[in-house]
Structure 1
């Protein structure tokens, strides 16, 4: 499904539309950065949220489909605290999609330091710079909205002034920003290999406020893996139902990261397909909150042995069904001939 992913780049979270008008195509996470005069088309976005340290540190991995004719591509990612940036694995999303598919029924019939108070136009501090193959990820904190916008312009990012109030809100809450930029020399077309942002937080969160200036948004798929059910909470979410809720077992998980989480007891996998009718309603971020009262709704995942047995049994079921059909058909023909013979006699 995602094995055609191209080089490492911008998975991450909220691109923020900090671009020159017309330079970006909005998606559920925000937008991708390209220079004025170029076009970019964002496609499917998929996020995987789990705990690196339960209740203390979140692990956020994302996969983004995008097409543009320029290699000059970038994204801005807000997080509540300073993140560590590492490489992700596109095949992990194949595994999540497979695991979130319910097995067949037996009857065959989902605080940090405050950066506010800086003088107007104050530039942010650069906390870290991480180079991952074709991607450079720079983490910044502090300053004010004007200073952040100035830093972005100085470092080759085109900014959009109407997003500065939202940047100011994030800064007032002590959030950091990660500027992820391509450093390759080829146009981008396909799925970007994901990166992982790991950061301190007391609740699983998916930043989305910077998408509020988008004209329209696509659908975003969010996977969560935890000890119990987690429900998406935000003022713009209502009546959401999980696309899948599966209880995983170690026998059947083919990914080291997922297998390690399941071994720790984080085996409740949910899948959410979320869409936003009006981006202006994105006044708060998406929080994935515990809902232990409906834990019993999880479907037990089939073990690998059970899946193998099903695959091995399926051909025999087909053969036996065919043979039974032949027997029934032959019996019907024989009965019909007997009736005709009786009628003649």
Structure 2
């Protein structure tokens, strides 16, 4: 795929998805990882959307799949992103058609409710350490993806700096926790011939995992609010929480339902959509996200109700009928009274 074709598709998708790209400080973090522009340049990250599932919809296979779509702007041709994973990741291009299909499936259906009664108004730098092991290098159009195994935080930081990843001190300080837990890293770099003007083409990460997770901890270093939408596929409805901690305070489930016999059924049997917002990432983000089955598969967000007023000349039809009935009753009583008076 040519670089210009990838960029054109990216820009169209970002506009279609309604991404709100908000400027952030250089070398900041997005919720999915650590943003690393080249020294002296700036990068802005907007909303991120992620499809989280088991590869081929098979939980027993033990391979998690994350399809990531970002809205990104940069002032330089070289822009990087560090994405931690619990196992070595294989990186490939995702398919933006998957995101479009999810949008179609999760569009709620309109249900009309007729209102016969309501009156309405008319018209209403670190010391040296062991360098990371490069496990793989993949070129995906204008994006280079390097999968790393790191046993030493200082060595990882040196490798990142030497390879043009200008992470902020706040982000590099958070890398140590991932190294200690034995996680791996994917270093992504834009290697095209022009700055990004809309976003990255969807990327797919696959890695071994015992449970569905989403790396979030690096975004504690973000200096601006973070907005994340995740589409989680599994056998049942899911709940979200921080690993070893409670649920995110500002999060809600916007859609949840079985997707069997739909165009996205290949990802899993049940889809849960989470909307997360972190106004103060440094204090509100307590770690990475993990997901688990809820007690039931309650359906949420598949319908929205529209009230249709039923009336005449601004008067609800129910009250009109009541009025007609009252007038008719009085009329009948009057007729009976008149007839009785004449007979007497």
**CA distance in structure 1 between the aligned counterparts of 2:271 and 2:186, rounded to whole angstroms:** 28
TM-superposed CA distance for 1:162, in Å, is: 3.5
In the alignment, does 2:83 pair up with 1:93? no
Larger proportion of strand: 2
Identify if the C-alpha distance between structure 1 residues 276 and 22 changes in structure 2 by more than 3 Å, giving closer, same or farther: closer
Name 2:330's counterpart in structure 1.
none
Which residue matches 2:275?
Answer: 273
The answer to whether the 8 Å contact 2:224/2:279 transfers is yes
Contact 2:215–2:288 (CA under 8 A) maintained in structure 1: yes
Go from structure 1 to structure 2 and tell me whether the alpha carbon gap of 1:142 and 1:28 turns closer, same or farther (over 3 Å shift). closer
Deviates more, 1:141-150 or 1:91-100: 91-100
Q: Aligned-pair distance for 1:299?
A: 6.7
Partner Cα separation in structure 2 for residue 50 and residue 76 of structure 1: 21
Offset, 1:83: 0.9
Q: What residue is the counterpart of 1:242 in the other structure?
A: 253
Displacement of 1:203: 0.9
Residues 174, 218 of structure 2: 8 Å contact kept = yes
The 1:108/1:39 distance shift into structure 2, 3 A limit, reads farther
The whole-number CA distance in structure 2 between the counterparts of 1:179 and 1:135 is: 10
Aligned partner of residue 297 in structure 2, secondary structure: helix
Separation (CA, whole Å) in 2 of partners of 1:283 and 1:212: 8
Q: TM-score, normalised by structure 2?
A: 0.71
Q: CA deviation at 1:51?
A: 0.5
Match of 2:319 in 1: none
Q: Per-residue deviation at 1:147?
A: 0.4
Is the CA contact 1:23–1:34 (under 8 Å) kept in the aligned structure 2?
A: yes
- Using the alignment, how far apart are the partners of 2:36 and 2:12 within structure 1? 16
User: In 2, Cα distance between the equivalents of 1:183 and 1:62?
Assistant: 18
Q: Say whether the 8 Å CA contact 2:64–2:207 is kept in structure 1.
A: yes
Instruction: In structure 1, list runs of 5 or more residues that go unmatched.
Output: 9-20, 110-118, 302-320, 322-345
Aligned counterparts of 1:230 and 1:33: Cα–Cα separation in 2: 32
Are the counterparts in 2 of residues 7 and 192 from structure 1 also a CA contact under 8 Å? no
In the TM superposition, what is the alpha-carbon distance from 1:4 to its structure 2 partner?
4.6
Look up the SS of the partner of 1:148 in the other structure. helix
Number of residue-to-residue matches in the alignment? 270
| 1:1-345 map, 5 Å | 4-6=9-11, 22-52=25-55, 53-55=58-60, 56-105=62-111, 121-234=129-242, 235=246, 237-238=248-249, 240-250=251-261, 252-253=262-263, 258-261=264-267, 266-281=268-283, 282-291=285-294, 293-297=295-299
Q: Is the 8 A contact 1:246 1:268 kept in 2?
A: yes
Query: Take 2:235 and 2:114, find their aligned partners in 1: how far apart are those partners?
Result: 29
Q: Aligned with 1:166: secondary structure?
A: helix
Q: In the alignment, what sits opposite 1:328?
A: none
- Larger gyration radius, structure 1 or structure 2: 2
CA gap of 1:106–1:22, structure 2 versus 1, over 3 A, is: closer
Q: Secondary structure at the match of 2:253?
A: coil
Partner of residue 115, structure 1: none
Give distance in 1, aligned partners of 2:194 and 2:132: 30
Structure 2 partner of 1:18: none
Q: CA deviation at 1:239?
A: 7.0
- Cα 1:239–1:7, aligned 2, differ >3 Å: closer, same or farther? closer
Of the structure 1 ranges 29-38 and 279-288, higher mean CA displacement relative to structure 2 is found in 29-38
> Structure 2 unaligned runs (5+)?
1-6, 14-23, 116-126, 304-309, 311-344
In the superposition, the TM-score normalised over structure 1's length comes to 0.71
Classify the secondary structure of the residue corresponding to 2:51.
Answer: strand
Q: Distance in 2 between matches of 1:108 and 1:186?
A: 55
Aligned-pair RMSD on alpha carbons?
2.9
